[in-house]
Amino acid sequence: MISTLITGLVLGGTYALVAMGLTLQYGISRIMNLAYGEILIFAAFAAFLLFSTFGINPILGLGIVLPAAFACGYLIYGVMMQPLVTRSKKTGTLEVDSILATFGLLFVIQGIMLVTFGSNYTSYNFLNTGINVLGANVAANRLLAFALAIIIGATLFFVLTRTRWGTTIRAIAVNPDAAPLVGIDVNRTARFAFALGTMLAASGGVMISMYQTFNASMGVVFTMKALVIVIMGGLGNLMGALIAGLLLGVVETLVATYVDPGLTLAATYCLFLVVLLWKPAGLFGKAAGR
Amino acid sequence: MTRTILGLMLAILGLAALAWMPTQLGAYGVGLLLGMTGYVALASAWALFSGPTRYVSLATVAFFGIGAYTVAVLSETLPYWAVLLVAAVIGLAVALIVGLATLRLAGVYFVIFTFGLAELIRQLVTWYEVNVTGTLGRYIFLPITAEQIYWQLLAVAAGTIAIGWLISRSRLGLALKVIGDDETVAGHTGINIAGVKLALFAVSATIITLVGAIQAPRWTYVEPAIVFNPTISFLTLIMALLGGANRLWGPALGAIPLFLLFEWLSANFPNHYSIILGLLFIAIVFVVPRGVLAGIEDGWARLKRRGEAA
Amino acid sequence: MLETQNLSLRYGRHLALNGINISIAEGETVVILGANGAGKSSLLKAIAGLQKPEPGSVLTLDGTTILGTKPHLIPEAGIALVPEGRGVFGDLTVEENLLLGANPRRARTSEAERHGLIYDLFPRLAERRSQLVRTMSGGEQQMVAIGRALMSNPRFLMLDEPSLGLAPIVVTELFGALKRVKQTGVGLLLVEQNVSISLSISDRGYLMEAGRITGENSAEALKTDPAVQQAFLGGAAA
Amino acid sequence: QDRTSVKIGYAISKTGANAGGAGITTLPNYQLWVHDVNEAGGLELPDGTRLPIEVVEYDDRSASEEVVRAVERLATQDQVDFILPPWGTGFNLAVAPLFDRFGYPQLAVSAVTDKAPEFVERWKKSFWLLGGGHDYTEALAQILNDQKAAGTINNDVAVISVADGFGIDLITAARQSFADGGLNIVYDVTYPVGTTDFTPMLNEAAASGADTFVAFSYPPDTFALTQQAQVAQYNPKVLYMGVGVGFPVYQANNGDKIEGIMSLGGIDPNNVAVMDYRARHTDFIGQAPDWWGSVVTYASLQMLQEAIRRQGLDREAVSQELSTGTFETVLGETKLEDNQLRTLWLGGQWQDGVFVAVAPADREGAVAPRLPKAPWPAQ
Amino acid sequence: MTSLLDIQNLRKQFGGLTAVNDVSFSIAEGETVALLGPNGSGKTTVLNMISGALAPTSGVIALSGEHIAGLAPNRIAHKGVARTFQLVRILPSLSVAENVIAALAFRPNHLWGRAAEERAEELLAEVGLGGRGGEHANDLTYIDQKRMELARALAAEPRLLLLDEWLSGLNPTELRTGIDLITALGQRGMTVLLVEHIMEAVRALCSRTVVMNVGTKIADGPTADVLADPAVISAYLGEGHA
Ligand SMILES: Nc1ncnc2c1ncn2[C@@H]1O[C@H](COP(=O)(O)OP(=O)(O)OP(=O)(O)O)[C@@H](O)[C@H]1O
Ligand SMILES: Nc1ncnc2c1ncn2[C@@H]1O[C@H](COP(=O)(O)OP(=O)(O)OP(=O)(O)O)[C@@H](O)[C@H]1O
Ligand SMILES: [Mg+2]
Ligand SMILES: [Mg+2]
């Protein structure tokens, strides 16, 4: 039982890691980023390339991939999203616009990956050694992802809720119109949050590349999983994403062990639906409001 | 009044022309028409509910798949019309249950809920087939030609747009707009929000189910991964939004060009399809901000103003 | 000195402000009176950088132009606005809203002290430090908005109908508090429908009509001005 | 006739969920074959003239509606001379009525189905070249029974399968074959497509005490299972997995840890034609072919090529020829029985870096399996 | 006079906070009553419970003897309760006329089509928006939006009209027009419960006043008496207003 729980938590760590960037992007920058998973996969390819071609191990690779991802996110927001955000002040169509625009972005990134990396399944082995945690054999790479999720989650949560800077970030999510009144540069802050989200997506991608097979078409799977977790946790709530991710991991493992592996996905979606029916704004969401 | 009658006659004429088209086209042309009409029907049905209420649903494929799967299961045992009927009834029943359950959700919570729902249904169907019937794929050997499928879809699409037209002129249409603007106000003005939403969701879902059922015989082989493919939900949504989900002809005007664009790109640029499509998409969002139809209207208004000025 | 010259603002074809000339000195309290739709709020927004004035407009702080300054830099310059409709951060707590008020760098040094001051002014806020502002009553939210603006250590504080929706006793307290704020040397630019009480704390007043300034006088004189009596104090004040 | 080329069309999943599979087994072989043929001056016709191949290709985006329409387009719009089949069981079935209606022979390779005889009845010009689930599971049962008789393994088998056409077909067949062979299935679960964590299943399988672990899995699952079995230090004496074991990336990633792992397919390492094909493939595509379907795909194209040489571009005649003729391909002498390829390698094992065929054991070129599989190297 | 609205021991709890605590009062048919109280004393919450926007934690709300507590807003609306909101709520994508028709079309004896359009125009004229039905609701000034909201409430032909600070934000001239408008409603026999902070308006309009403080009722009686009550002065009006 303990070992099942641990296996589940470690799996959940991956989910949480993947979801946290999205909750920043959607919860704070208000960009429903359908290309999120593609960015993640792109980072996975980057890590793979660094490892297989230049022999740079993925952990060091983070040092290259993350800043690059941050820069990309910064650029994407500046070039693509900012005009939409500005426009939406008049039209109020940011949600629809961002869905459509990032849907386009999804195709672009996917297309670039198809052209450069092909459509084949890619995977490599790194840190695929068992580590005994309280009786459960856990792969070191997954454990690392779990640790990273917890560290990122806790740090960001602390920063967002306990510091002035974090509060400014949340403020733009709550009421971007009023933010300038307290000296917040909404554009810059939203852009920063978006870039940070992109960076988290990339860190998820690098981690996942160490133990999961991926290919250029797989991004959507991650986007949707991340969305489910983000929504289940409560929009824009990092702690929510972390806990929802872990919860899904544990439930999936429990169902696979004690019920039927055929029902794991059914169980996670079921859990998700039940949570929403019980708390329409997610586990940690503020009461519903559009 | 005369304008309405004129419009009606034009619509009937147009419909007749569309129905006659397959006789002039080869199999590929019919296939193209069929696919296009299918998406026009899906996008229009989707917009019936999601357009005015702004409840963006990703459950399209859940109902589409239910329709297709019903046909796959029953095609050997029941006459075709009865199969369609059963499919519609199942779709309606599921829609009512889902509708009742989701009434409390709003915004993106609803969006992702519906996505989760579609996935759950797919997982459950898969699990059922694997564990209970012990097969996964099912075969549909119905003697239905592509032309026949096209005609049925055409009827459904026309019906959907007609329903949309009727609703937009009725109190129900106004109720939907009010709900889309402000649910609190809607409640206080005496609108039965739950009832309206449920009714519309059910109508929309039933039509989508029918589209799935009608299209199924085209594939011969049906399995959950094929008929519950989430891409269908996304495409429907994108088409409707692009055309303008709040207008009667918006979804159709989004579906047709987009469908043809997909087709043209995949035929001419099979290797750079994604990149070009993506860039086009982004460009469209920037150039026609409020949907194609609104864009056309804006352009038309500008032309007219210029004409008046001249 | 905060000053506008020939300030004009356009919404599409509608000219909402038409060549406005006003000024407020440090420590001075000035009220703008005008009917609904006269353009009072538009004026405050233009000064706060939230709306872009027409070319040819002049807006200066101590003689240097602040026209075209990005809106988020305006509080940094020492101008704070309590907007119409409050503009609070509904999903944040009272405490967090106040914390954000002190976001401009100029406010950081005296932050703790100001915190205390504001809780003294509005004891209700002290009781509800960790309540989400969205769940507070209308009046409570207004207190948060004013408190937040004061947190930024402004030299000029602009208030757009601060008494709107406040209980009489709170209005009295609020204006008492504004008087104290004024005494600390802050210049107040006030837009109010509650004319008598706002004139009672003001030094000067402007009359505004359809986007133009149509009159200016000392508060004392305005109180007795028959035109003002007629338009704003009316028989109802009697 | 002023014909300057032979038009050959295909719709394939270049994007979407199926792209991973199609991009290994099918598309590279189409490309290689076209290259080979055109390099040699084109397709040879009965009169000895050669016409180059002109390719019309579409991306079906992994959607059945798309593949159906693309084939219609190829047949009626582009009016190609021959159409090559798409990737996947479902898609091959989806387009079968169209191939039939428009009179094109369908050389379905990447489709494993026990219903092939039925389909041949229904669609006379369809050919099924990768066998059915039963073929593979009976071969596997045979190997296991041999090992059991030799005392290498016990009677118990743990099986997991992916809840998709392929997995279900095979597990259904396996239940029957294993029961017939007297084997006892002690753990039997099906997992959904997209599962990434197999730890619970591996733990349960280990706990079941079975010496044999079988996974009718898809490539991502196969890769994950391999990694996770090592982490869990799960060492069944027979480790048999599904699609992906024969992929080049599998070998690249796992090095010599793959030694002893079994799967479907395999090759005869002494078959020069196959080894030559592999070398050319690696050379031209930039990556090696897989060890199961690839070579069959290429062989099917060679059959088509030869049938055209004998019968010209008359599709009716070509189909007839494919049905009845005997062809020399990279698989050696190849002849279809009842429109199906029966001389297949049904089971293989990694031995010294080559995925050799071990079943059917009585076929010439088969290698003896090396069992039990050695435990994973210590970490 | 029979009582139209009867409230007994009404209570609303938000988590640990008791926003409304055992409040009871009733309103007779045709009366115009003010509900006063400091900010956050629970006035809006009471209106929300009467109109169905919130379900009471406990207590009774009866309309002509019929219990309505906890019913959905649309059911309560159909029983004859209409309201305006403290912060105006317009239907931004609709025209001014459609905003009003929205209420006409969904009241029990609903109007639709021509009849609805005509009636909407009448109602708009009544609140001073005559001839402006074609404009976009979004383009109206704040005060005009408030007018439109009142027309929408009146369109439901309510027996009980709830006005939440409908007069706030008006300048003195406009205030007078507003007061006249509500007086006219009262004279037509409509029952009105209004929440206001403008004492002038309360004095001019309401014969009776209920005062709340921190969720409890602290006074109830003729307006003049209540406004002179020391408890009300110290909690709400302040010394200057006495
Ligand atoms: N964002 C906007 N777009 C278009 N017109 C606007 C906008 N904001 C204000 N207006 C118009 O500009 C004019 C002045 O409005 P403003 O809000 O400044 O008036 P005000 O004096 O503050 O009135 P009130 O007392 O109602 O607050 C009004 O006619 C109003 O309709
Ligand atoms: N949804 C809610 N969740 C938590 N607390 C709430 C909620 N709604 C209201 N409250 C609290 O209940 C109390 C009463 O609020 P209400 O809005 O009824 O006050 P009010 O009397 O209308 O005040 P005002 O005159 O300022 O509008 C306030 O303290 C408010 O903070
Ligand atoms: Mg104003
Ligand atoms: Mg209130």
| Out of C99, C134, C148, closest to residue A167 by CB | C99
Residues B14-32: tens digit of each pLDDT: 888 777 877 777 778 888 8
Query: C139: CA distance to ligand 2 center in Å?
Result: 9
- Count of CB pairs separated by less than 8 Å, A with C: 75
Q: Which residue has the higher pLDDT, E160 or B136?
A: E160
**pLDDT exceeds cutoff 70 at A289:** no
Cβ neighbours of B181 in E, within 8 Å: 91-94
Complex ipTM = 0.82
> Quick check: C144 contacting E, CB < 8 Å?
no
Cross-chain Cβ contact D20/A120 below 8 Å: yes
Could you tell me the two tokens for B105? Answer: 């959700």
| Out of B26, B32, B129, closest to residue D69 by CB | B32
**pLDDT exceeds cutoff 50 at C235:** no
**Residue D32 pLDDT level (bands cut at 50, 70, 90):** very high
| Out of B185, B190, B193, closest to residue E91 by CB | B185
Quick one: DSSP state of residue D375? Answer: P
Lowest mean pLDDT segment, chosen from A136-145, D6-15, D34-43, E17-26: A136-145
> Quick check: B166 contacting E, CB < 8 Å?
no
Q: What is the mean pLDDT of chain B?
A: 84
Lowest mean pLDDT segment, chosen from A9-23, C220-234, D121-135: C220-234
Query: E36: CA distance to ligand 2 center in Å?
Result: 13
Per-residue model confidence (pLDDT) at position D112: 85
Per-residue model confidence (pLDDT) at position D359: 80
Q: What is the CATH number of domain A2-278?
A: 1.10.3470
Residues B189-225: tens digit of each pLDDT: 889 888 888 999 999 999 999 999 999 888 878 888 8
Query: D313: CA distance to ligand 1 center in Å?
Result: 78
**pLDDT exceeds cutoff 90 at D10:** yes
B abuts D (3+ Cβ pairs < 8 Å):
yes
Per-residue model confidence (pLDDT) at position E40: 83
A160, A177, A182: best mutation site toward chain C, by most C Cβ within 10 Å? A182
Mean pLDDT of D303-322: 90
Per-residue model confidence (pLDDT) at position C236: 39
- D289: nearest Cα among D198, D355, D230, D224: D355
- Count of CB pairs separated by less than 8 Å, A with D: 114
- E171: nearest Cα among D249, C31, D157, D379: C31
Query: B235: CA distance to ligand 2 center in Å?
Result: 44
**pLDDT exceeds cutoff 70 at D1:** no
Q: Which atom of ligand 2 is nearest to the CA of C140?
A: 26
D309 contacts D43 by C-beta, under 8 angstroms: yes
**pLDDT exceeds cutoff 70 at C234:** no
Query: B30: CA distance to ligand 3 center in Å?
Result: 61
Residues D205-216: tens digit of each pLDDT: 999 988 899 999
Per-residue model confidence (pLDDT) at position B295: 67
List, in sequence order, every beta strand (DSSP E) within C25-166: 29-34, 58-61, 64-65, 79-82, 156-160
Residues C132-163: tens digit of each pLDDT: 888 887 778 888 898 999 898 899 999 998 88
Which protein residue has the closest C-alpha to ligand 2 atom 5? C135
Domain tally for chain C?
1
In A, minimum Cα distance to C45 occurs at A181
D abuts C (3+ Cβ pairs < 8 Å):
no
Cβ neighbours of C134 in A, within 8 Å: 286
Could you tell me the two tokens for D288? Answer: 């090696």
**pLDDT exceeds cutoff 60 at E241:** no
- CA–CA distance, A180 with D70 (Å, rounded to integer): 54
Chain center to CA of C142: 12
The helix/strand/coil state of B288 is coil
In A, minimum Cα distance to B242 occurs at A100
Which protein residue has the closest C-alpha to ligand 2 atom 19? E40
Please, which residues 236-295 of chain D have a Cβ atom closer than 8 Å to chain B?
Answer: none
Measure A217 CA to nearest chain D CA, in Å.
Answer: 5
Containing domain of residue C107, as a range? 2-232
Residues E126-168: tens digit of each pLDDT: 888 888 888 888 888 878 888 899 999 999 889 999 999 888 8
In A28-77, which residue ranges form alpha helices assigned H by DSSP?
36-54, 58-76
| Out of E38, E172, E238, closest to residue C232 by CB | E172
Q: Give the residues surrounding ligand 2 with Cβ less than 6 Å away.
A: C 135-140, 165; E 14, 17, 19, 37, 39-45, 86
Per-residue model confidence (pLDDT) at position A288: 35
Q: Which residue has the higher pLDDT, C236 or A95?
A: A95
- CA–CA distance, C107 with C153 (Å, rounded to integer): 5
Per-residue model confidence (pLDDT) at position C47: 92
Cross-chain Cβ contact A289/B106 below 8 Å: yes
Q: Which atom of ligand 2 is nearest to the CA of C141?
A: 26
Cβ neighbours of E13 in C, within 8 Å: none
E abuts D (3+ Cβ pairs < 8 Å):
no
> Quick check: B145 contacting D, CB < 8 Å?
no
**Residue A258 pLDDT level (bands cut at 50, 70, 90):** confident
Residues E34-53: tens digit of each pLDDT: 999 888 889 999 999 999 99
Query: A227: CA distance to ligand 2 center in Å?
Result: 34
Domain locations in chain E as residue ranges? 1-80+159-242, 87-157
Please give the C-alpha separations between residue C172 and each of D161, E211, E225, E231, in angstroms, as whole numbers.
76, 19, 22, 17
Per-residue model confidence (pLDDT) at position D33: 93
Measure A88 CA to nearest chain D CA, in Å.
Answer: 32
Mean pLDDT of A245-251: 89
What residues does B139 pair with on adjacent strands?
B221
**Residue B308 pLDDT level (bands cut at 50, 70, 90):** low
Cross-chain Cβ contact D19/A128 below 8 Å: no
Q: Give the residues surrounding ligand 1 with Cβ less than 6 Å away.
A: C 11, 14, 16, 34, 36-42, 84; E 141-143
| Out of C76, C90, C102, closest to residue A175 by CB | C90
Query: D130: CA distance to ligand 1 center in Å?
Result: 75
Measure B112 CA to nearest chain A CA, in Å.
Answer: 6
Whether C237 maps to a domain, the answer reads no
Q: Which residues are CB-contacts of A41 (< 8 A; sequence separation ≥ 6)?
A: A113, A205, A214, A215, A216, A218, A219, A222
| Out of A168, A173, A175, closest to residue C87 by CB | A175
- CA–CA distance, D50 with D6 (Å, rounded to integer): 9
Question: Domain E1-80+159-242, CATH 3.40.50.300 — does that match?
Answer: yes
Query: E49: CA distance to ligand 4 center in Å?
Result: 13
Cross-chain Cβ contact D90/B225 below 8 Å: yes
CB atoms within 5 A of ion ligand 4 belong to: C 138; E 44, 86
Helix axes A238-254, A219-233, angle to 10 degrees: 110
Which protein residue has the closest C-alpha to ligand 1 atom 26? C36
The domain spanning residue C176 has which CATH number?
3.40.50.300
Per-residue model confidence (pLDDT) at position B292: 64
Mean pLDDT of B113-127: 85
Which protein residue has the closest C-alpha to ligand 2 atom 1? C135
Cross-chain Cβ contact B274/D15 below 8 Å: yes
